[in-house]
Structure 1
Amino acid sequence: MSKDWHSLSLKEQIAQMIVVRASGYLFDHQIRYPAWEASNAQLQQWLQELNLGGVILLGGSSIELQKRCGQLQSWANIPLLIAADIEEGIGQRFPGGTWFPPPMALGAIYQQDSQLALKYAAKMGRITAQEAIAIGINWILAPVVDVNNNPDNPVINIRAFGESPQVVSALSGAFIQGAKSYPVLTTAKHFPGHGDTATDSHLELPSLPHDDARLARIELPPFQKAIASGVDSVMTAHLSIPAWDRDKPATISTEIVRGKLRQELGFSGLVVTDALIMGGITQYASPEEIAVMAVEAGSDILLMPDDPEVAIRSIYDAVKSGCINREQIEQSWERIWQAKQKVLDESNTIPEISAPQSRLTVKSILQDSLQTANLPLISANKSESRNLIIVDDILNAGYLDINTPAIAIPQQLGYQRQIVDSSTLDCILLDSRPTLLQIFIRGNPFRGNAGLNSNTRQIYQQLATKNQIEGIVIYGSPYVLSWFEDFIDNKLPLVFSYGQMEQAQAIALKALYNLDSEAFKSNFQQNFGF
């Protein structure tokens, strides 16, 4: 980089602490979240005139993102940190790249074969880092190191590696070590631990009511392991932790960020906030106050402030008035500059994405974490049966179309398809046909529940009591699987997969029907990895 950390003005140093949300698509008319994603003209102005430090991307294919990242870097005077929430590989967010099963799939494998799970976690980290570089991303906002010991957690859920600090520590540490094969930044999140909550911090402020001893025993060990493994950044959570700070959420708490993370845990890398547009923090104070308090607490990078110009001006005024020490800003910029030095080495060769070996790793993880019972399913008359697919949010189900296995395979076998959004389940009780039930359900941000509410539970139970279900496939949450197992016929053919992507669907249905025929192989082997 042409400028070192000494040469920037105060406002430029503050601007380097700001990371804004940007569309991964190239053109303005493709923007999906206009409230959060600036137009190209606005984004270019921010990068060129304000000297913002980076962007976080969502949307666009992997190949399109290569061009988009190059475009964004060309607008910047100082090379950007380009981040993405790619906890399950770049294919999770940007189609075309490798999409891994959720981390909890590795936790399930760990219970049977810890060494195999650790090998998979390291491969997952390495492939994610390799493909991130290939498309222009240099900051991986992963791994999640929360301990998901609350089955009702609506937002962490299967994004965590497991339900115990030992499992999460081991697998997240292996992921970080794997990612270190390439010059990208990794992130342990969400400090000090978002796993034992039943509230989504995207909507409200959750609270961890535990005492210091419990927090030290359960929540903190994975962060300690991540730090020991060389994680580059730690993301703070919008959480209330009364045992450590009765007044302020962790994001803006000096006691938590400086006291616990910096001093007690000894973390010297980048501290980044979770998105500052989330309900868990916006309800606490104004955007101006939040920006200042986050920096006062010890954050180096503010992720997605409501308005970057307002955030910069507020922090600048706080420095000038003596509320924030100028030296603190310089220390944050020095850490950012050092991080950029690590990831912006232009001499590195550009690796490929979605290599055959990467897809084989995904296939192995899916197969080794698959759960089955009472197979195969033998339907008396498939042409009189329906393939009932229930999706959490049908408008965002990018893993389903007419040619994906969950639809195409049953259709080839003679089933008639019916696809229903989970919010409109009542209609399924009016149909008395024998039913293959496929459910796509997992915890997701902004939804507020872990996939099952009282109404959906009642409808599933009614469907089961009518003896219509001839087989069940659940994609996503093992907590939903556990709930079903409590009341369904224990002889019912059942398959559970942590993954929801096309590979997961093909593997699950192949197991359900024991599809080893040559006709099946010729139709699906090439596309779905058999």
Structure 2
Amino acid sequence: MRNIVKLMMVLIACTLLSLLAGCSDQRDKQQQQQDEQQQEATPIEHISASDKQNEEIQAVLHHMSIDEKIGQLILMGVEGPQLDAKAKAFVAEQRVGGIILFKRNFDNVTQSLQLINALKEANIQGSTPLLIGVDEEGGRVTRLPQELVKTPTNRYIGNVAGGEFSFDIGELLGDKLHAFGLNMDFAPVLDVDSNPNNPVIGDRSYGANPQIVSAAGISQAEGMKSRHVIPVVKHFPGHGDTSVDSHIDLPVITHDKKRLDEIELLPFKQAIESGIDAVMVGHLIVQAYDPSTPASMSKPIIQELLRDQLHFDGVVITDDLIMGAVQKNYSIGEAALQTIQAGGDILLIGHGYEPVQQVLTALKNAVTSGELTEERINQSVERILKLKMTYELDDTQRDNIDVDELNRQTKELLEKMKTSEG
């Protein structure tokens, strides 16, 4: 009898152990399944973040009038060192979405800060922050006040250690612009310096080797992006081998597609692959793609080449429409409408207030007549809003700028570059 009892106890114990082991195995399987489900869910979080941004964009877009949407397509110049009534009205009332500042707008650091703050104040009722940009390339193309030590030319940057310091230059430019409350730089230049007689590019290019131009330009752009400053690469599809200055007249490029692909287009292709968010298109005829229309307003170049073939889905900005290449051949309203119809997003009008009004009127009339649809305008506004949100732009005003610190950083970097020359 005792043996039977013992045997039964052993059997019960074994059964309990088996059940416990089974529960443990079940718990392990459940935990494994949960871990696998969590790993599978991780990409959904990224999708949700993208969806959230898109929801925000659609919410802003929904509350915009057609006039506000058209205003987002304009990036205009201001005439002097102070914000005048006309410029203020364009921002506060017509909801112009962006401003470009030139040397004429920067007398000194204090005045410059006041002007930029005044622009932001004018936009206080705006649906979205202003884009406020400059051509701060370094070398001979610099806009910031003279109190700041300039950065060197791109040619120098490209020549020193194969462009090794280009990221540092980008960071520095980003720090300078961010200190003023600026958020966009029409740089870096990705034109390949393949024509020694080029009257407009020259030392603005990193050099004659497209790989160096590409690597240095992309690295400099990354430096700017790290400081929440939007780099705008230029001048697509390549202004390096021209003998005419587009500020004066319309250059013509006669190279075939193979040559363009290997030289002019290569830096832009690689910049797009690296994730660049904004491209400036130049006023030049590129016969291999469009024998009659400037690239800046050409559908074969903007839509078919840049967007469809090179897969660029960011913001396309024209070079300044107040240039001889455009003015000698088109009315500004005609040029603006053709640019948007071709797939462009932002119209840069750097000089004069009357041309800004002419463009706004031309676009509004085109919508009324049916030449331009609100759907097409929405596509551009969505890209612009996405750009502003991605870089976390706001209209926060700056109180002061530590010029000494910025100059210390610049001098220190210049000294490192000089040492590396040897």
Distance of 1:267 and 1:351 partners within structure 2: 36
What SS does the corresponding residue of 1:171 show, helix, strand or coil?
helix
Q: Which position in structure 2 is the counterpart of 1:87?
A: 137
* Residue 240 of structure 1, CA deviation: 0.6
Q: Does 1:314 align with 2:362?
A: yes
What SS does the corresponding residue of 1:235 show, helix, strand or coil?
strand
Q: Which position in structure 1 is the counterpart of 2:322?
A: 277
Contact 2:135 2:141 in 1 (8 A): no
Q: Does 1:7 align with 2:59?
A: no
Counterpart of 1:55 (choices 75, 93, 99) is 99
* Residue 320 of structure 1, CA deviation: 2.5
Q: CA offsets, 1:117-168, max 9 Å, x none?
A: 32x1000001111110110110111000000110011111100111111110
Counterpart of 2:73 (choices 9, 17, 30) is 17
Distance of 2:286 and 2:409 partners within structure 1: 43
* Residue 88 of structure 1, CA deviation: 1.2
Distance of 2:141 and 2:285 partners within structure 1: 33
For residue 344 of structure 1, what is the amino acid of its counterpart?
L
State the percentage of identical aligned residues.
35
Is there any run of 5+ residues in structure 2 with no aligned partner, and where? 1-55
Q: Which position in structure 1 is the counterpart of 2:172?
A: 127
Q: TM-score, normalised by structure 1?
A: 0.63
Counterpart of 1:65 (choices 112, 115, 122) is 112
Distance of 2:265 and 2:167 partners within structure 1: 21
Q: Which has the higher strand share?
A: 1
Q: Which position in structure 1 is the counterpart of 2:153?
A: 102
1:285/1:337 CA distance change after superposition, 3 Å: same
4+ runs deviating over 4 angstroms: 345-353, 366-370
Q: Does 1:194 align with 2:239?
A: yes
* Residue 74 of structure 1, CA deviation: 0.5
* Residue 193 of structure 1, CA deviation: 0.2
* Residue 187 of structure 1, CA deviation: 0.5
Distance of 2:118 and 2:85 partners within structure 1: 12
Counterpart of 1:144 (choices 177, 189, 208) is 189
Counterpart of 1:360 (choices 396, 412, 416) is 412
* Residue 368 of structure 1, CA deviation: 4.6
The correspondence of residues 149-164 of structure 1 with structure 2, limited to 5 A, is 149-164=194-209
What SS does the corresponding residue of 2:118 show, helix, strand or coil?
helix
Q: CA offsets, 1:489-526, max 9 Å, x none?
A: xxxxxxxxxxxxxxxxxxxxxxxxxxxxxxxxxxxxxx
Counterpart of 2:382 (choices 309, 321, 334) is 334
For residue 377 of structure 2, what is the amino acid of its counterpart?
I
Q: Larger Rg: 1 or 2?
A: 2
Counterpart of 1:344 (choices 383, 387, 393) is 393
Distance of 2:251 and 2:110 partners within structure 1: 38
* Residue 339 of structure 1, CA deviation: 1.9
* Residue 369 of structure 1, CA deviation: 5.1
Distance of 2:80 and 2:86 partners within structure 1: 15
Distance of 2:240 and 2:378 partners within structure 1: 34
What SS does the corresponding residue of 2:178 show, helix, strand or coil?
helix
Contact 1:105 1:365 in 2 (8 A): no
Distance of 1:101 and 1:317 partners within structure 2: 45
* Residue 352 of structure 1, CA deviation: 4.4
Contact 2:181 2:396 in 1 (8 A): no
1:233/1:98 CA distance change after superposition, 3 Å: farther
For residue 393 of structure 2, what is the amino acid of its counterpart?
L
* Residue 68 of structure 1, CA deviation: 1.1
1:287/1:20 CA distance change after superposition, 3 Å: same
Residues paired across the two proteins, number: 352
1:229/1:347 CA distance change after superposition, 3 Å: farther
Distance of 1:351 and 1:93 partners within structure 2: 16
Q: Which has the higher helix share?
A: 2
Contact 2:117 2:397 in 1 (8 A): no
Distance of 2:201 and 2:102 partners within structure 1: 19
Higher RCO (CA-CA < 8 Å; seq separation 6+): 2
1:326/1:91 CA distance change after superposition, 3 Å: closer
1:279/1:348 CA distance change after superposition, 3 Å: closer
* Residue 250 of structure 1, CA deviation: 0.4
Q: Which position in structure 1 is the counterpart of 2:211?
A: 166
* Residue 325 of structure 1, CA deviation: 2.7
Contact 1:241 1:249 in 2 (8 A): yes
RMSD: 2.4
Contact 1:122 1:178 in 2 (8 A): yes
1:239/1:170 CA distance change after superposition, 3 Å: same
1:334/1:352 CA distance change after superposition, 3 Å: farther
* Residue 246 of structure 1, CA deviation: 1.4
